[in-house]
Structure 1
Amino acid sequence: MSQKSNFVFILKYLSKISLILVVLVSCKNSSKEINDFLADKNLPVGVSENVNLVRKDSGITVSRVITPLYWDYTNKKLNPYYEFPEGVKIVTINRLSRDSVTVTGDYAISYQTTAISEIIGHVVVVNHENGVTLNTEQMYWDQKEDYYFTEKPFTIYTEKDTMNGVGFESESNLNNWILNNTKGDFIVDQKEE
């Protein structure tokens, strides 16, 4: 190739690049237009990796959310949500002790409007204060009512008992259970009158 043909090739290449740059620079979209575009394409408005979110009340840490990947879909008009596609660990901290309750699962989604979260896959809830552990494959967490529930099979381990069933409800500290279709070995304390 001669020097003249090289020069013509470079000029054509540079003119294409400058045309693309002019088009990109001339685009002026508002953040609302960008959010609407992302929502229409079902894309998150934000993505974060290796998240360790701390929530405080009056300067005191009350919970932590730890996840390797976090997608923010709060740009959805009807039902904005947060998604944790690679799992989540939620730690609730009691002011008197360290970790009161820990929840882990393989996947989670939390709806902003209803404050209901769904945790799926190898869900484990541990109350560190009373030694109760719940295992299930799917669980819902009503954050407004501070309440867990599932219609899936579950296993609860306490210091003395192991219980299995299908369908479970309790306060988020694993107290005051409602168990459905339960079986297992139970130790019952009977008081004589």
Structure 2
Amino acid sequence: MLSRISFFLFIGVCGFFLSACNSDLNSAKPIDLNENVQVETTKGAEIIYSDSTKVKAKLKAPILLHFKAAKPYYEMPKGIDVVFYDENLKPTSTVTSDYAIRREHEKTIELRRNVVAKNMKGETFKSEELFWDENTKKFYSNQVVSINTGQATISGTSFWALEDFSYYEIKQGSGPIQFNADLDSTATATP
């Protein structure tokens, strides 16, 4: 008697799991096996970004994978090192990360893990995520960022910056604030 109950219980449990698996399989998106994605691999890649024949940035990557798909993209699994230049070819900022991916159609680069950016003022920006929008020439992140100004460290929940990091805005920032000593001594801060 006990073995019959165990048998029916086993059949019921198997039926439950099979029906659960079936509904998941039905909702899964089909994979297009006909698309033949070609991947080109480049070691020691160096890419120069220019605008109207003027060099704007130089990107170096130990490994560059170019996926030639319907939506082509470049993956840099060993990270990147980017230097941005002004119109006189003087460096204005640098950005490094342990991983990057560039989406060709969107003209964006997503940087992940140990992202560090530096501007010519000596300020250092650190985050685990940073996006570079080539169209707007801005960087942004929705992850925690810390900025070392040389005098203090400021942190925030997200931020955006111009391409050369000369101007940036932080959301929900915290850290010490220094006031200019030349300000009128009668000025007061209001909460």
> Normalization by structure 1: what TM-score?
0.71
1:10-61 Cα shifts (integer Å, max 9, x gaps): xxxxxxxxxxxxxxxxxxxxxxxxxxx99935541x1100112233456553
Matching residue of 1:72: 66
CA positional deviation for 1:151: 1.1
Matching residue of 1:114: 106
1:51-62 aligned at under 5 Å gives the runs 51-57=45-51, 60-62=54-56
Give yes or no for contact 1:156–1:162 (8 Å, CA) kept in 2. yes
Distance in 1 of aligned mates of 2:34 and 2:178: 53
Which of 175, 179, 185 is residue 176 of structure 2 equivalent to?
A: 185
Distance in 2 of aligned mates of 1:67 and 1:95: 24
Going from structure 1 to structure 2, the CA distance change for 1:152 and 1:58 (only over 3 Å counts) comes to closer
1:1-193 aligned at under 5 Å gives the runs 40-44=35-39, 46-57=40-51, 60-73=54-67, 75-77=68-70, 79-96=71-88, 98-127=90-119, 129-189=120-180, 191-192=183-184
Higher helix share: 1
Percent of residue pairs identical: 22
Q: Aligned to 1:174, what secondary structure does the other structure show?
A: coil
Matching residue of 2:23: none
Going from structure 1 to structure 2, the CA distance change for 1:148 and 1:96 (only over 3 Å counts) comes to same
Distance in 2 of aligned mates of 1:43 and 1:97: 35
CA positional deviation for 1:100: 1.2
Distance in 1 of aligned mates of 2:163 and 2:49: 17
Which 5+ residue runs of structure 1 have no aligned equivalent?
Answer: 1-36
Q: Which amino acid aligns with 1:142?
A: D
Matching residue of 1:29: none
1:91-132 Cα shifts (integer Å, max 9, x gaps): 1112336321111000000111111110001000111x2212
Going from structure 1 to structure 2, the CA distance change for 1:99 and 1:39 (only over 3 Å counts) comes to farther
Q: Aligned to 2:144, what secondary structure does the other structure show?
A: strand
Q: Which amino acid aligns with 2:75?
A: E
Q: Aligned to 1:101, what secondary structure does the other structure show?
A: strand
CA positional deviation for 1:187: 0.8
Distance in 2 of aligned mates of 1:40 and 1:106: 30
Which 5+ residue runs of structure 2 have no aligned equivalent?
Answer: 1-31
Going from structure 1 to structure 2, the CA distance change for 1:97 and 1:53 (only over 3 Å counts) comes to closer
Q: Which amino acid aligns with 2:128?
A: E
CA positional deviation for 1:89: 0.7
> Normalization by structure 2: what TM-score?
0.71
Going from structure 1 to structure 2, the CA distance change for 1:50 and 1:153 (only over 3 Å counts) comes to same
Going from structure 1 to structure 2, the CA distance change for 1:146 and 1:136 (only over 3 Å counts) comes to same
CA positional deviation for 1:147: 0.7
